[in-house]
Amino acid sequence: MKWTIGTKIGAGYALALAMLVVLGTVSYRNTAGFIEAAQLRAHSYQVLDNLNKVLSALKDAETGQRGYIIVGEEPYLEPYQSGTAAVNKALQNLRNLTADNPNQQHRLDALAPLIAAKLSELKETIDLRKSKGFEAALQVVRTDKGKQVMDDIRKLIAAMGNEEKKLLEQRDGEVKANSETTIATIVYGIPLAFAVLALFGFLLTRTITRQLRESINLLSSSAAEILATTTQVASGAAETASAVSETTATVEEVKQTAQLASQKAKYVSDSAQKTAQISQTGRKSVEDAIAGMQHIQEQMESIAESIVRLSEQSQAIGEIIATVNDLAEQSNVLAVNAAIEAAKAGEHGKGFGVVAQEVKSLAEQSKQATSQVRALLGDIQKATGAAVLATEQGHKAVETGVKQTTETGESIRLLAESIHEAAQAATQIAASSQQQMVGMDQVALAMGNIKQASVQNVSGTRQAEVAAQGLHELGQELATLIGRKVA
């Protein structure tokens, strides 16, 4: 099947559009996957944070219970009350965050009654302290029922935390894979598309130029024939009437040749107009592609800002953890001092010694929890730094893509302008061909009336000669436009 010039140019623009669509689709999917994986990582961190809040709130509640049992004053119940409320809130958050994870939901189902039992044990001892005194509450504490429940709670929370950490590792791998795929698409896809389009453009230009050259050669040949024929008619205008019929036949042949030239010129003009329209459509497609690349660049900048804010919040959490660690150290020192004073007091200081030992135990637990949180926070900051670096690299790659797409759009714009100029020239050729047809009609009419108006015949022949010369010159100009002269 032989393609027209317009079809070939349309195929070129279709190829360019298809490659841009493929590159844009791949980049969009990879970027969307990157964003989704980042959101899932943040989701896992929220689950871990709420698990820590559950443990912390239970410890606060236990601290308030023990303080009230020892002292018996209402202000010591404030940590118990705030811890109870915080536990319920953290559990509800965990329910919502793990709604799509059946394993975690089952663990929460097992965790909820344990927490309820722990809170019930705390409330029981507090009520006993209020109604029956210190010894009754202390007997319940010494049963170690609350400690066993607390150990079970810690095991369940540790299991949930381990599963979230595994999910974090998996999502980190997804983020890395999406980032590498996006970079590979931009680094290798755009140069490959540029090379393919450059090769196709070269072949397309070569094919179109060859077809135009053939049409111009035919047009120039026809114009030369017309010029030669009209010159002969002008020189033989004074011959006898016996040559009139032969001259008339020659003019008729010239007229048919001019009609053929006019038809070809009109075909060239129509093809050039279609080409110009297709080039405008391609230019609009490239502008849309540039706008899409700019939108991707804006999304990459938004991701970078979110990661920077996450890093700042991690640093603030680190400062808070340092303060908590200092408080634990101070509590440990106070507990040691209190134990010493209790030993000095003898039998009267035994109860105070128990309190000192509990305070020391709580201080040690707080110090251990702070160390664990600090280690987790260090991992978060490292991951955040890696994400910032990857985002900056992605941002630079997107900027390069925007630049190259803009340069491609500028090249297509220049090509569209050249095609538009060629279309105008083809239109002028078609108009000149039409004028030639009018001149040849005048020649035919003059030859029919040559016996009555010899002077009119000579004048019409001269007009035909001028029109043929103009057609020949236009053919030469069109040949010059495609970069090659016609003999």
Residues 286 and 203 grouped into a single domain: no
Residues 427 and 456 grouped into a single domain: yes
pLDDT(166) > 80: yes
Higher pLDDT, 484 or 298: 298
Evaluate whether residue 452 is within a structural domain: yes
Distance CA 91, CA 365 (A): 22
pLDDT value, residue 186: 79
pLDDT value, residue 65: 83
- Render pLDDT for 119-145 as a digit per residue (tens, 0 to 9): 888 888 888 888 888 888 888 777 777
Q: What is the mean pLDDT of the chain?
A: 77
Residues 373 and 255 grouped into a single domain: yes
What is the domain extent for residue 24?
1-210
* DSSP symbol at 189: I
Evaluate whether residue 327 is within a structural domain: no
Residues 206 and 243 grouped into a single domain: no
CB-based contacts of 188-195 (< 8 A; 24+ apart in sequence): 189/22, 189/23, 189/26, 190/23, 190/400, 190/401, 190/404, 193/16, 193/19, 193/20, 193/23, 194/404, 194/408
Question: What does R_g of the chain's alpha carbons equal in angstroms?
Answer: 46
Burial 347-378 (b: 16+ CB within 10 A, else e): eebeebbbbbebbbebbeebbebbeebeebbe
- Render pLDDT for 171-215 as a digit per residue (tens, 0 to 9): 778 777 877 787 877 777 788 877 887 887 788 777 777 766 776
Report the number of distinct structural domains present in the chain.
Answer: 2
Highest mean pLDDT range out of 94-108, 282-296, 459-473?
Answer: 94-108
Mean pLDDT of 447-459: 67
Residues 206 and 223 grouped into a single domain: no
Residues 225 and 191 grouped into a single domain: no
Q: How many residues does the chain have?
A: 487
458: confidence class by pLDDT, cuts 50, 70, 90: low
Residues 2 and 23 grouped into a single domain: yes
- Render pLDDT for 83-104 as a digit per residue (tens, 0 to 9): 899 998 999 999 898 888 898 8
pLDDT(170) > 80: yes
Higher pLDDT, 395 or 46: 46
Residues 432 and 291 grouped into a single domain: yes
Quote the percentage of the chain above a pLDDT of 90: 3
- pTM value > 0.75: no
Evaluate whether residue 326 is within a structural domain: no
Residues 173 and 259 grouped into a single domain: no
Evaluate whether residue 310 is within a structural domain: yes
Residues 250 and 194 grouped into a single domain: no
Would you say 107 and 91 are in contact if contact means Cβ atoms under 8 Å apart?
Answer: no
Q: For the domain that residue 3 is a member of, what is the CATH number?
A: 1.20.120.1730
User: What phi and psi, each to the nearest 5 degrees, are found at residue 389?
Assistant: -65, -45
Mean pLDDT of 287-314: 76
Higher pLDDT, 216 or 117: 117
106: confidence class by pLDDT, cuts 50, 70, 90: very high
Evaluate whether residue 434 is within a structural domain: yes
Evaluate whether residue 325 is within a structural domain: no
Q: For the domain that residue 307 is a member of, what is the CATH number?
A: 1.10.287
Evaluate whether residue 54 is within a structural domain: yes
DSSP string, 277-318: HHHHHHHHHHHHHHHHHHHHHHHHHHHHHHHHHHHHHHHHHH
Residues 397 and 296 grouped into a single domain: yes
Evaluate whether residue 27 is within a structural domain: yes
